[in-house]
Amino acid sequence: MLGTGIIKGFYITAKNFVGSYLTRERMTTIEYPEQRHKLPDAARSFPFLIYDGSDPIAGLRCTACKICEKECPPQCIYIIPTRDEKGKVMKHPRVFDIDYSVCMGCQICVEVCPFDSIKMDNAYEIATPDRYAALLKHREQLAKPNSYFHQINPTDATEVDTRLAEEKRQAAEKAKAAAAAKAAAAAKAATTTPTAPGSAEIPLGRRREAPPTPPSGNSALPDKPATTNHSPSS
């Protein structure tokens, strides 16, 4: 029916107008910034990095795999991995920058991260007169504790923690099983002596039986045929 949306809009406006005098719960505006609405879990603005423990840098979950950098549509993520004194790449970012002035909040970096190290924040008050330098966020500014993630998105944070704990438990069980198998193989090798190719292994604790000794006397020896010394006749 034509005009149904207009009638519905007038109804909602009238209901809120009358309700604002009867109860303040129906008021559609609040005294911002003194009062703020609680944002839903799905609210998002820009990415940030999660760290575990008390050290914001050493506790970063990020391994500098650069997957988020490669998959970012506007190419606003820049990562340089840490290297040791020999030049070997370490699983830790030395530089992790995100240009908020370019980021479009698509959340693709969150979806492709295999380590749950980058998540979307809901902080939206980031206006600044310096459009370039102030909106270029570095590793130290992006790092936030896991408790902060639980505060803004408790559902997703609990799910991530449960999954990470299960993966850690499975890895520990695999390592324990591998260590037990290695110890069993070493124990088996220690109880056996090396043998020549094609021969059976002989346990160390088993004595080798001596061959039977023939009885003494000539009776046991087989009789030799008598020999005749023939000399040529003269």
The CATH number that applies at residue 134 is 3.30.70.3270
Q: Is the predicted pLDDT of residue 191 greater than 50, yes or no?
A: yes
Q: How many helices (H) and strands (E) does the chain have?
A: 6, 6
Instruction: Give the range among 31-35, 55-59, 141-145, 221-225 with minimum mean pLDDT.
Output: 221-225
48 domain residue, yes or no: yes
55 is a domain residue: yes
**Is 157 a domain residue?**
yes
- The answer as to whether 189 is a domain residue is no
| Three-state secondary structure call for residue 145 | strand
Residue 36 has pLDDT above 70, yes or no: yes
State which of 70-84, 184-198, 214-228 shows the largest mean pLDDT: 70-84
pLDDT at 27 over 70: no
The mean pLDDT value of the chain amounts to 83
Question: Could you tell me the residue range of the domain that residue 143 belongs to?
Answer: 40-164
Calculate what percentage of the chain has a pLDDT beyond 70: 78
Does residue 34 lie within any of the structural domains? no
Q: Let me know if residue 231 belongs to a domain.
A: no
Is residue 156 in a domain? yes
The stretch 212-220 carries a mean pLDDT of 57
Q: Provide DSSP, 177-215.
A: HHHHHHHHHHHHHHTB----TTSPP-BTTSPPPPPPPPP
**Count of domains in the chain?**
1
When pLDDT is cut at 50, 70 and 90, the band that residue 234 belongs to is: very low
- Is 57 inside a domain boundary? yes
- The answer to whether the Cα torsion of 101, 102, 104, 106 is positive or negative is negative
Model's pTM, two decimal places?
0.66
